[in-house]
């Protein structure tokens, strides 16, 4: 049985062990986007600095994220169910819209990044046109269609089959992914790439259409993007609700995600350093993955399989989360979660072709991360403050009601929480793009967390 956003998972159905959760999140967070972001981190102060950044900032940002697993396991509720005590039974539709943006957004970005990697693999392996080369668009559409089909199959299959997929993928990554990492790092020359540092300040461009910005890569800026990256693993609660114990639901995801991201972020950092050393210091994050080297060593099949597993294991969870979001928006609709999973799986394909309209994928990707950061940071901050400080870790089963109960507020809406959420989103964007110097120096994330946390506490204590 698949439980919708407004159905409680009973204890007898909580079948994920601690190790299940570790393997689930190890494979779910092994994805092409980590290589790209690892490359950005190396663009700050080089490979050694990026390693320290990954250990400390990555680990720090994953801790509050992991606590959503505790809330979900304790209540048996999905991420959208545990949003109801803060926003109200009906008001939870607002975070559901944000949540849908996370799930569908990451599904399309992952599929697109995976298709780009596949295109470069097949360009070397079979001489097919790579991304951005002439006549490449039909090939890209075919790759995106293949990912959509595979992602849909496992997403529709439900939480038990997704768990089996993640176990198989974890074994695959540890054996063949480990082998790939060994051979490509050995080929690149570990000693040389570890000592690499950029010779000048690196910049990245972000924006969409005519709205474009350029920022230097700083610690504060990378901090923002790391939090946005980690906190948009939105489906932690959707699978921690199936965890057998609190530790399985909380620290299982933390360990799995932390270990996997250290590995793959560093692969991206090594790759961009190798490319810079090979190309006269040119900083090229888009090409920073081990696929090209793997293909050149005669192992194109291995590179293709790793991209395939890395993309499908992540997007199956995003499809599942997106369907849950829609089910929370339509609590009285007589449509099963399975049917919603089918609908979402079909929708992902046309959406994943949208980046083909952008001439600069890096701009699109960074803009996407920024956009989600403006949504996810105030949203998750507010929900954590509500659970730990306002409700004192005491959520009742009233959160599963369709009307009435403790979380009905004003006809089902907690307008105070909704106002704080939008205020926090605007606050993040103002710091990011109206006062970019603050962001480059102090981050947009930390001021937003303080602003949202204090403001929500103030309005919650007001009768």
Of the pLDDT bands very low, low, confident and very high (cuts 50, 70, 90), residue 284 is confident
Residue 36 has pLDDT above 90, yes or no: no
Q: What is the mean pLDDT of residues 252-272?
A: 96
Mapping DSSP onto H, E and C, the string for 132-200 reads: CCCCCHHHHHHHHHHHHHHHHHHHHHCHHHHHHHHHHHHHHHHHHHHHHHHHHHHHHCHHHHHCCCCCC
pLDDT the model gives residue 292: 83
- Report the 10 Å Cβ neighbour count for 210: 5
Chain CA centroid to CA 268, Å: 17
Residue 445 has pLDDT above 80, yes or no: yes
Question: What does the chain come to in residues?
Answer: 463
pLDDT the model gives residue 281: 83
pLDDT the model gives residue 362: 59
Cα first-last separation, the chain: 42
pLDDT the model gives residue 209: 64
Token pair in block for residue 10: 């009973």
Residue 112 has pLDDT above 60, yes or no: yes
Of the pLDDT bands very low, low, confident and very high (cuts 50, 70, 90), residue 8 is very high
Of the pLDDT bands very low, low, confident and very high (cuts 50, 70, 90), residue 207 is low
Q: How far is CA 405 from CA 80, 85, 291, 293, 384, in A?
A: 17, 10, 54, 59, 21
pLDDT the model gives residue 391: 95
Query: Counting beta carbons within 10 angstroms of the beta carbon of residue 29, is it exposed (0 to 12), middle (13 to 18) or buried (19 or more)?
Result: buried
More confident residue, 118 or 452: 452
Give the CA angle between residues 271, 275, 105 to the nearest 5°: 55
Rg of the chain in Å (alpha carbons): 21
Of the pLDDT bands very low, low, confident and very high (cuts 50, 70, 90), residue 418 is very high
Of the pLDDT bands very low, low, confident and very high (cuts 50, 70, 90), residue 291 is confident
More confident residue, 110 or 360: 110
Report how far residue 123's alpha carbon sits from residue 143's, in angstroms, rounded to the nearest whole number. Answer: 13
Percent of the chain at pLDDT > 90 equals 63
Contact call for residues 410 and 419 (beta carbons, < 8 A): no
Q: What is the mean pLDDT of residues 75-89?
A: 96
Q: What is the mean pLDDT of residues 299-304?
A: 89
* Averaged confidence pLDDT in the chain: 91
pLDDT the model gives residue 330: 86
Q: Which of 282-286, 340-344, 421-425 has the lowest mean pLDDT?
A: 282-286
Residue 408 has pLDDT above 60, yes or no: yes
pLDDT the model gives residue 21: 98
Q: What is the mean pLDDT of residues 98-123?
A: 87
The domains found in the chain, sorted by start residue, are: 16-460 (1.10.4160.10)
Percent of the chain at pLDDT > 70 equals 96
Q: What is the pLDDT of residues 315-372, one digit of tens each?
A: 999 999 999 999 999 887 888 888 898 999 898 888 888 878 766 665 676 777 778 8
Of the pLDDT bands very low, low, confident and very high (cuts 50, 70, 90), residue 457 is very high
- Which of the 8 DSSP states describes residue 204? E
pLDDT the model gives residue 200: 87
More confident residue, 142 or 352: 142
Residue 211 has pLDDT above 80, yes or no: no
More confident residue, 25 or 4: 25
């Amino acid at each position: 049985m698949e439980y919708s956003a407004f159905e409680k998972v009973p204890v007898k159905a909580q079948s994920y062990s601690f190790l299940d959760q570790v393997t689930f999140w190890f494979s779910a967070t092994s994805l092409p986007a980590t290589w790209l972001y690892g490359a950005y981190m190396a663009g700050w102060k080089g490979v050694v600095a990026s390693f320290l950044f990954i250990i400390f900032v990555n680990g720090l940002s994953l801790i509050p994220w992991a606590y959503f697993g505790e809330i979900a396991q304790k209540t048996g509720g999905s991420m959208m169910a545990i949003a109801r005590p803060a926003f109200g039974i009906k008001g939870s539709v607002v975070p559901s819209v944000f949540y849908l943006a996370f799930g569908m957004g990451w599904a399309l970005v992952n599929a697109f990044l995976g298709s780009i990697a596949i295109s470069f693999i097949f360009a070397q392996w079979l001489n097919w046109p790579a991304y951005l080369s002439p006549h490449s668009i039909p090939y890209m559409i075919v790759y995106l269609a293949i990912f959509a089909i595979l992602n849909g199959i496992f997403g529709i299959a439900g939480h038990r089959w997704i768990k089996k997929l993640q176990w198989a993928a974890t074994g695959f990554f540890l054996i063949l992914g480990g082998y790939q990492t060994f051979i490509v790092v050995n080929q690149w020359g570990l000693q040389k790439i570890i000592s690499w540092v950029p010779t000048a300040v690196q910049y990245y461009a972000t924006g969409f259409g005519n709205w474009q910005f350029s920022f230097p890569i700083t610690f504060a800026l990378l901090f923002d993007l790391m939090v946005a990256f980690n906190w948009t693993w939105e489906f932690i609660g959707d699978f921690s609700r199936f965890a057998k114990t609190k530790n399985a639901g909380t620290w299982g995801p933390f360990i799995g995600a932390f270990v996997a991201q250290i590995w793959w972020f560093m692969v991206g950092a090594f790759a961009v350093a190798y490319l810079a050393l090979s190309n006269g210091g040119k900083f090229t994050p888009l090409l920073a993955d081990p696929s090209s080297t793997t293909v050149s060593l005669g192992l194109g099949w291995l590179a293709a399989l790793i991209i395939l597993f890395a993309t499908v294991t992540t997007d199956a969870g995003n499809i599942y989360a997106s369907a849950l979001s829609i089910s929370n928006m339509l609590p009285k609709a007589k449509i099963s979660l399975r049917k919603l999973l089918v609908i979402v799986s079909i929708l992902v394909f046309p959406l994943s072709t949208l980046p083909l309209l952008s001439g600069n994928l890096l701009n699109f990707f960074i803009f996407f991360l920024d956009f989600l950061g403006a949504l996810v940071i105030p949203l998750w901050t507010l929900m954590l403050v509500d659970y730990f400080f306002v409700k004192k870790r005491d959520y009742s089963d009233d959160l599963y009601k369709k009307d009435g109960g403790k979380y009905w507020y004003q006809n089902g809406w907690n307008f105070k929480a909704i106002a704080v959420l939008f205020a926090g989103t605007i606050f993040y964007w103002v710091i990011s793009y109206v006062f970019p110097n603050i962001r480059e120096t102090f981050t947009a994330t930390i001021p937003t967390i303080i602003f949202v946390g204090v403001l929500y506490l103030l309005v919650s204590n007001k009768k």
